[in-house]
Each structure stands twice: as structure tokens, then as C-alpha cells.
Amino acid sequence: MKLYSIIQKRAVFGSMRPTKDNYGNRIKTLVATMVLGGLSLTMNAQEEPIDSLEGEKVVLDEVLVQSVRITKDFPITFSDLDKVELAPRNLGQDIPILMNFMPAVVTTSDAGAGVGYTSMRVRGSDATRVNVTINGIPYNDAESHGTFWVNMPDFASSTQSLQLQRGVGTSTNGAGAFGASLNMLTDAFSEEAYAQISSSIGSFNTLRNNVKFSTGLMNDYFEFSGRLSRVTSDGYVDRAASELDGYFLQGAYKDDNTLIKALLFGGHEVTYQAWNGITADQLEDNRTYNSAGEYTDDNGDTQYYENEVDNYKQDHFQLHWYETWNSAWNTHLAVHYTRGRGFFEQFREDDDFATYGLEPITVNGDLVETTDLIRRRWLDNDFYGTVFSATYNSDKLELIMGGGYNEYKGDHFGEIIWAEYASNSEYRDRYYDDNSTKTDFNVYTKANYKLTDQWSLFGDVQYRGVTYQANGDDTGLVDDSFNFFNPKAGVTFDLNRNNNFYLSYARANREPNRNDYESGSPKPEKLNDFELGWRYVSPSFQLNTNVYYMRYKDQLVLTGELNDVGAPLRSNVGDSYRLGLEIDANVSLSKTFKWRPNIALSDNKNLDFYFERDGELQNLGNTNIAYSPKLIAGNIISYMPSTNFQVSLLSKFVGKQYMGNIDSETSVLDSYTQTDFNIQYTINMNSFIKSIELSGLVNNIFDADIVSNGYFYTFDDDYSNPGTITTIEGAGYYPQAGINFLLGATVNF
């Protein structure tokens, strides 16, 4: 089978050409290499028997992300997480929550229970600076750069594996990575037909149901598979309910040289808004309070509008063609299209007519200039393009040339669907109607050359051109173009079969997002990333440790403030840096006990930071970068007395962090520790039902008061004391749920 020739067999720290005869061993070594290189959470892959059929799935489908993923042969810091590791905790929570225990990762949930709007930060960088691709296709929103997992409910159930590259990583499609790159691979095709029904239930009326199927490989060439999911939850926070529907459909064709996959996936989310947060006093007295939709009726009683919701649909289409041309060359070509449309609805009490371009009216002889109303703010967008790559493999050289071209078109508009006093408006008049377009073109070449059995050189150059045009009250008139050159270089040294060292440098540039233009005329940000790492592996102990220094110019740091739709605001700072040490390990304490600790220590500073306080511009010196804790630690202890039974205790510590950049005590998020308990038991059956998998997850078993996110703001008060200006500070918080549980069962046919 010619397809075999494209995969190099990697010995622990060497290589040899694969043959059909050593195919099974080659797959074992390939999976082990992924573990050793990234120290994923896999349980000692060298000792795990790997079925040749499963191995073939990995080989055939990994080619779809071959241009954006790396192994230990590359001087890049990364971690892997696969389907087997996700399964015990995959009970309806979003992907960021499932990634919570990976190194240098901090996660949060607006609703407090991991369903609905969730997000993560890596090395202190928020979701707008983590570049996410699905099968190599960009997923971040082109305008906001955000990643909205709520639009793809239960997507973890269709995820084969993911790789988190910390730092700049290698060149890939999509916006530049300033904190990390997350490369996701969807379900592999299945040689055999199967069906699967999965259900889970838990706290806050959380319920997840899904159905999966595959036809298996038909006529040795074709396979069709799919998933339908529904996830509902009331949320920990008051009225923070979610109704989420998701789907995933796939058709695959393969022969000895060709793999073609067509995918259609997406979802529809309706979530009650929970982005307002609460005050410090409410954090003490009423942790679940939610002010969204609150108004006062004619009797002076507090009411809540029942449809204060976010309502959005998103559909993705991908077509991939992978071809092996000979023993050295293979290519990958993909086209994609994403369609998004939806709105969020709000009840507005006593809003000014002028906000909506309405004229004052006279009612019973009185001049009326305000009204109660219900509005919808819409986003209707299209994102489409192509990505491509060609890969050359020989004994010494792996060369990848690729790129992509993508276009985004977005319509932003607002409608009034009801008003107590309509003035001169008509039903669904648009009180604003903005549009935006963005193009993104990139080409790259990267190579890894093996000088000797011990030394390898890595080089990577990328050109990226971006144009962005927008108009709106929030952005103003925007017509910007950016041309970025992003070089990367590194060296890897294999001391022996157990020790591997690497050193790399990467340059990254990144354009502002839509929200940045609210603050005026933002500059693109620049990053120089230095990574030095050591990897050690033995049958019972595997270790990754790395030091990084990320030096920024004009970094767009989070200010702590939110705009009127709950999106974080950023602003350029002059010079800043992140310096850190990351360590993660996989230890076999015995045949039944496994220990997987990780720790990330960092110093994150704005240099010579200026801030206007009390009417005077002050140099605050070196201040901490917002949302960047100095210590993040994770720990997983697993007990596996047999292959079908597993118990794990998982803990996460996140140190103190500031929500602003001025080191104000008002902006502090206290440190916290979360501890979860996870159990899975598989009942194997020799019948129509092949197996039943039972899972249980208790989150935050010690019922800790956790606040994982918040916001911070300042404003000048010149009214209290005439003739003086006083800077007022304030903060909001997003509490997470106390002890809560999820129970699930999966029936495999």
C-alpha cells in the first residue's frame, strides 16, 4: 500500500524506513512518539497494545493535519490529547473544560458549570490569541478572533485528537498564534460498522443525549458516519440556561493512494445571557445572581425578561483531498465554507430615542424622549476559502510547502421588535446597518533536516497578507492592510535514546480585531518567542520541561473592561514580556497507578506602563499583565486495576491574577484549587450490544468557592469634588459552581 510510504517510522530517538512487515510496530512507535514528544495524557503508550486497525485509522486521518502538527523531532513545545483520554469526562461539557488539566491552561464558564459559553487562556493569552484549526481549517472568528465553542455543541464526541502547541508553534492557517495553537482532528473513518447511543445527566438539570453511527468501509472504499446531539442545562448562575443542538456528518473515500473526506457539522445554540457578572458584595451574599433581563414593572416590582437570549446557528462544510503521488511526495487540498447567522435579544428599560435615531413624541401633553423596548442585534456572516500543502519525505528531510486563502463577509445590524412608544419607527427597522469584509492569504515553507543521527535543524518562513474593511459606530471607518513576515528556526539534539533537547526562535505578527478599533487606531502586535526544552523518556517515566521567553512589541493586552455585548477589550502596550518554566510528567508508579503532574511558573510584565490616574499621567513601572497567574499546576492520579475500570482524581491550582494592568488590589482574582473525581467502568458483552460504558464525574468535590474570571474598569469622577478628578475603580466576577456531578452511559452496538 503506497500510503504507508508517507509515514516515517520514528524510533525512540531515531528513524528507519517503514515496511509492511513492521507496520504494527511502526504504529505503536508512532503513537508513542506523539506521547513522548508532547507528553500527552496517554497512559504509557509504549506498553499499550495497539490494534492494527486502529493504527491504520490514525495513519490515514492524521495526514489531514500533517502540515500543522508536529512530533518530538521538531523544536516546538506541545501536548496531545486523544479520544480515549477525553471519553471518561466527555459528558456534555465543552472542549475548553475538558482541556482544563493540560499544562498552562486556565478555563472558565459564564454559566458556571461548563455548558454554554466557555473559554480558555494559555500562558495568560486569551481565546482571541489562541489559533484554532479543525482539520487544518481556521475556526477563530475572522473579525473578533474569538473561538465560540457554544456554536459546536458536544463537538468533543466527534474529536479524534487534539494538539496544543504553546507559544508561536509552527506556521499554520488562520490568524497568528500569540499564546498557543490548537489543532483538532475530527473522527477517523471506521473500517467496521457501528452504532452508539450516549446519555448523561447531572446537576443544574444538565442533560446530554447523542447518537452516533458508521456504515463501516463499504466495497473497500466508502464510509459514511454521523452524530446528532442535544445538550441542555439550567446553569449554575440564575437563568443561565442553554439549549444546544449539534450535528456531524462525514463521507469518506479511500484507496491505496487517495483519501477524500467531506464533512458537514455545526450547531444551534440558545443561551440565556450571563455575561454581566456580579459585584464583590454579591459574590459574598448571592453568588448565582444574574442581572441580565432585569427590569421594573408598572407596580415597581423587579421582573426578568424571559427571552434575554443569544440565538445563533453555525454550519461548517469541509472537503479534503489527500493524495500520495510516490514514495516521497503527497499533497493535501481542502475547500471550506462556514455560514453563521443569529442574534442576541435584550429588553431595554428607558432607552433614549436618540440611540435609535428616533424623534421625541408628545403623549398626553408630555414630551417623551425615552421608551422601554426589545431589540435584537444581528450577525450574519460567511467565511470561505481553501488551504493546501505539499509534503516531501526522505530519510533526512521533511519539507512542507503550503498556504491558504480565506474571505470573510459579515453584516452587523440591529432591529427594534417592540417598543412601548414607537415614535417614527416601523417594525424591525434597522437602527444600525454595518458590514465588514476581510481577506487572509498566507504561504509558508517549513523543513526539518536531519544533519546526523543526533542533530536536526528546523526552518519555517511564512508570509501573511491581511486586508480588513469595516464601518460602524463602534469601529468607525476601517480600511487597513497588513503584510507580515514570520520566520522560525530551531535545532533538536538527541543525546541518546532517553534524552532529547531543543532550542527554537519564532517571530509572529498579528492584526487587531474588530473590538480593538473601538479604542481608536490600534497597532498590529509583534512577538519574538524563544523556547528551550528537554524531553526525557523511559518505560516508567516520561518528562517534558521547557523554558520560554516571549518578548512583545505593542502587545494587545486585555484591559479588564468589557464592551456592551460582554466582549473583552484590549489595548496596545509598548513593551512587555512573558518568561516561564513549564514541566509535565507521566509516571508509572506501579502497574495500576499512574501519576501525571504539570506545573507552569511565569513572570508576565508590562514594561514602563503608563496610566492616567486622578487626572495625571503616571509611570507605574513594570506591572503584571492582566489575567496572567504566576503559578498554574495540574495533577492527575489514576488507578486502573483492569483494562475496563479506571478511577482518577484530578486537581488544578491557579494562582492569584490581576484583571487589569495597573496592579490594583480591586482587580485581583484570588487563587483557587479545583479537584474533580472521575470514574469509568466498561461492561463487555458478546451480543448485539458490544459494550456499555458507565462514567461518573464529580466536579469541585471539596465545594470550593471558585472565581475563574471577571472584569475590571476605571472611570474619572469630576462631579463629587468640583475642580478635582478622582479615578474610580470597579470589578465584576464570574463564580463557578460548587460541588456538582455528571453521570453517563454509552451503549455500543
482 near 465, Cβ under 8 Å?
yes
Q: Which three cell numbers stand for residue 165?
A: 502547541
Burial class (CB in 10 A: 0-12, 13-18, 19+), 368: middle
List of residues 6+ apart from 642 with CB closer than 8 A: none
Q: Give the per-residue pLDDT at 727.
A: 84
Q: How many helices (H) and strands (E) does the chain have?
A: 5, 44
pLDDT tens across 524-573, in order? 999 999 999 999 999 999 999 999 999 999 999 888 888 877 788 888 99
Instruction: State the average pLDDT for the chain.
Output: 88
Does residue 36 carry a pLDDT above 50? no
* Mean pLDDT in residue range 108-122: 95
Mean pLDDT of 273-291: 94
Count the alpha carbons within 13 Å of 709 in the hemisphere toward its beta carbon: 27
Separation CA 463–CA 489 (nearest Å): 15
C-alpha cell of 507?
517571530
| pLDDT over 90 at 178, yes or no | no
At residue 40, the pLDDT reads 34
Contact 584, 608 (CB under 8 A): no
- In this model, does residue 43 exceed pLDDT 50? no
Q: What is the pLDDT of residue 564?
A: 75
Q: What is the pLDDT of residues 475-493, one digit of tens each?
A: 889 999 999 999 999 999 9
pLDDT at 62: 63
Span between the terminal Cα atoms of the chain, in Å: 30
Enclosing H/E stretch for 416: strand 397-419
**pLDDT single digits (tens) 598-639:** 999 999 999 999 988 888 889 999 999 999 999 999 999 999
Measured at the CA of 519, the angle between CA 518 and CA 524, to 5 degrees, comes to 100
Please tell me the distance from the alpha carbon of residue 710 to that of residue 568, in angstroms, as a whole number.
10
How many residues are recorded in the chain?
749
Grid cell of 468 as nine digits: 480588513
Question: pLDDT digit string (tens) for 227-241?
Answer: 999 999 999 999 999
Return the SS3 of 518: helix
Rounded to whole angstroms, the Cα distance separating 204 from 237 reads: 9
Per-residue confidence (pLDDT) for residue 22, from 0 to 100: 38
Distance CA 140, CA 149 (A): 10
53 — pLDDT class (breaks 50, 70, 90): very low
List the beta bridge partners of residue 240: none
Pure H helices in 157-266:
none
DSSP symbol at 158: G
Instruction: Give pLDDT tens digits for 352-395.
Output: 999 999 999 999 888 999 999 999 999 999 999 999 999 999 99
By residue range, what is the domain housing residue 665? Answer: 2-748
Within 8 A by CB and 6+ apart from 29, the residues are 9, 10, 11, 12
* Predicted local distance difference test score (pLDDT) of residue 720: 61
Please provide residue 739's backbone torsions phi and psi, each rounded to the nearest 5 degrees.
Answer: -60, 130
Positive or negative torsion for Cα 640, 644, 649, 654: positive
pLDDT at 28: 34
DSSP 87-151: GGG-SS--HHHHTTTSTTEEEEESSSSSSSSEEEEETTB-GGGEEEEETTEE-S-TTT----GGG
Contacts of 326 (CB under 8 A, 6+ apart): 2, 5
pLDDT score at 42: 34
- Whether the pLDDT of residue 18 is over 50: the answer is no
- CATH code for the domain of 262: 2.40.170.20
- pLDDT tens readout for residues 415-439: 999 999 988 888 888 999 999 999 9
The region of weakest confidence among 48-52, 470-474, 492-496, 510-514 is: 48-52
Q: Is 669 exposed, middle or buried (0-12, 13-18, 19+ CB in 10 A)?
A: buried
Largest interatomic CA distance in the chain: 93
Residue 317's φ and ψ, nearest 5 degrees, are -125, 130
**Grid cell for residue 189:** 473513518
Cell numbers given for 714: 476605571
Going by C-alpha positions, the residue among 136, 142, 117, 151 that lies closest to residue 182 is 136
Q: Which helix (H) or strand (E) holds 32?
A: helix 23-38
What gap in Å lies between CA 638 and CA 156, rounded to an integer?
21
What are the cell numbers at 138? 481556521
- 527-629-93 Cα angle (round to 5): 95
Q: What percent of the chain stands above pLDDT 70? A: 91
For cell 433581563, the residue is: 293
Q: Examine the pLDDT at 647 and tell me if it is beyond 90.
A: yes
CA 18 – CA 26 distance, rounded (Å): 7
Q: Is the dihedral of CA 132, 136, 137, 143 positive or negative?
A: positive
Q: What is the pLDDT of residue 63?
A: 67
Q: Looking at 421-460, list the stretches that DSSP marks H as alpha helix, in order from N- to C-terminal side.
A: none
pLDDT at 176 over 80: no
Lowest mean pLDDT among 35-44, 337-346, 427-436, 591-600: 35-44
Beta-strand relationship, 130-134 and 180-186: parallel
Q: Where are the alpha helices (DSSP H) in 332-407?
A: none
**Nearest one of 257, 192, 220, 380 to 5, comparing CA atoms:** 257
pTM above 0.95, yes or no: no
Name the DSSP letter for residue 60. H
Is the model's pLDDT at 656 over the cut of 80?
yes
Strand partners, 610: 619
pLDDT at site 724: 76
CA distance 48 to 24: 12
Dihedral pair phi/psi, residue 708, rounded to 5°: -100, -5
* Per-residue model confidence (pLDDT) at position 61: 63
Q: How many CB atoms lie within 10 A of CB 702?
A: 10
As for how many domains the chain has, the answer is: 1
SS3 content of the chain, % helix, strand, coil (to 5): 10, 55, 35
Distance CA 21, CA 747 (A): 36
Q: How far is CA 394 from CA 15, 458, 743, in A?
A: 11, 15, 49
pLDDT band at 719 (very low <50, low <70, confident <90, very high): low
